[in-house]
Amino acid sequence: TASSSLEDLCFHINEKISDIKKCILVRDIGKQDQHHKSVLCKIQNEVILVHELLNKMETEVKQQEKLRDLLKDIQKAAERDQKEAQHLLEHVPPYLPKPTQSCVTVPAVKDEGQTKPVEPKHAKKPAKETKVIKEAALITTEEFQSVPTYMKGRITYDQINAVVQQINKAVVDKYKILYQPLKSMSVPARNLYHRFMEEETKDTKGVFFIVEADIKEFTQLKLDKRFHNILNILRHCQRVREIRGSGLIRYVIC
């Protein structure tokens, strides 16, 4: 590794420096005879070599510093990514957006007086008619934060979306009955069907709505003060609107 090679280089340089120190102790001897002059030449060569090794060591140190700075940058980036991931983990809304409409597929209904045509033996079955039931979208965290404090009170984000889900359940259950052929309905379903039709007005044409009786019929919600406060929030967030008439409040899905 880079650290072990740097340690080896330091050890080698220290050995050379130690040799030079020993030779310096006898440097004056070189003035006396030719043999000692050769020793001094050797010392000079060692000094040159040490100088080269020091240059090499300096280069190695600079590379190590660059590597250290790079590792610090990587560490900072990793810490930043970790903080962002932790923030996302802590702020993931319990309810995520979903499609605002669901499709209910029912067989196409034929007039009772229509005679059944003679079909070939291997004729394909007629395609089923697709009916679309509109549902209210869940409240987002941004919308929840935009609701005035006096309107929210102690109502939580989860409580609001739980009511939205129950309202959607009531809408789907109601219109599944409306989309069934009348002759195939059970007696309780037929009674509900007639009530649904009586609640229709010219203002409800083409919209999906429920009344409080539907909420009682298809959900476990309590129609208390908190429920009506949540309805106010849903009107504020444009999830429902009201159509009044004939002593009924019709909650229309927006």
pLDDT digits (tens, 9 = 90+) for 128-162: 667 889 999 999 999 999 999 999 999 999 999 99
Mean pLDDT of 19-48: 69
Domain count, the chain: 2
Same domain, 86 and 141: no
Same domain, 24 and 136: no
Answer with the residue of higher pLDDT: 145 or 94: 145
Portion of the chain with pLDDT greater than 70, in percent: 75
Alpha helices in the chain, H assignment, sequence order = 2-25, 34-90, 141-146, 149-152, 157-178, 187-199, 212-218, 225-236
The candidate with the shortest Cα–Cα distance to 240, out of 176, 177, 160, 174, is 160
Q: What pLDDT does residue 111 have?
A: 45
The answer to whether residue 240 sits within a structural domain is yes
Q: Answer whether residue 110 shows pLDDT above 50.
A: no
Residue 55 to residue 14: CA distance in whole angstroms:
14
Same domain, 80 and 149: no
Q: Domain limits at 11?
A: 2-90
Q: What pLDDT does residue 8 have?
A: 76
Take residue 81 and report the two structure tokens written for it.
Answer: 């990514």
- Torsional class of 35: left (φ above 0), alpha (ψ -120 to 50), beta (otherwise): alpha
For residue 137, the tally of other CB atoms under 10 A from its CB is 19
Q: What are phi and psi of 108, to 5 degrees?
A: -65, 135
Q: What pLDDT does residue 14 have?
A: 82
- Torsional class of 241: left (φ above 0), alpha (ψ -120 to 50), beta (otherwise): beta
The answer to whether residue 169 sits within a structural domain is yes
Same domain, 72 and 138: no
Same domain, 178 and 72: no
Average pLDDT, the chain: 81
Q: Which of 2-16, 26-40, 202-216 has the lowest mean pLDDT?
A: 26-40
Same domain, 27 and 86: yes
The answer to whether residue 95 sits within a structural domain is no
Same domain, 246 and 148: yes
Q: What pLDDT does residue 199 have?
A: 95
Mean pLDDT of 3-26: 74
Mean pLDDT of 15-25: 75
The answer to whether residue 218 sits within a structural domain is yes
CATH number, domain with residue 202? 1.10.10.1890
| Cβ 210 vs Cβ 223: under 8 Å | no
Same domain, 44 and 158: no
In degrees, rounded to 5, the angle at the alpha carbon of residue 28 between the alpha carbons of residues 25 and 33 is 125
The answer to whether residue 174 sits within a structural domain is yes
Same domain, 149 and 232: yes
Highest mean pLDDT among 8-17, 73-82, 104-113, 135-144: 135-144
Q: What pLDDT does residue 210 have?
A: 95
Mean pLDDT of 72-83: 87
Q: Answer whether residue 113 shows pLDDT above 90.
A: no
Q: What pLDDT does residue 17 have?
A: 81
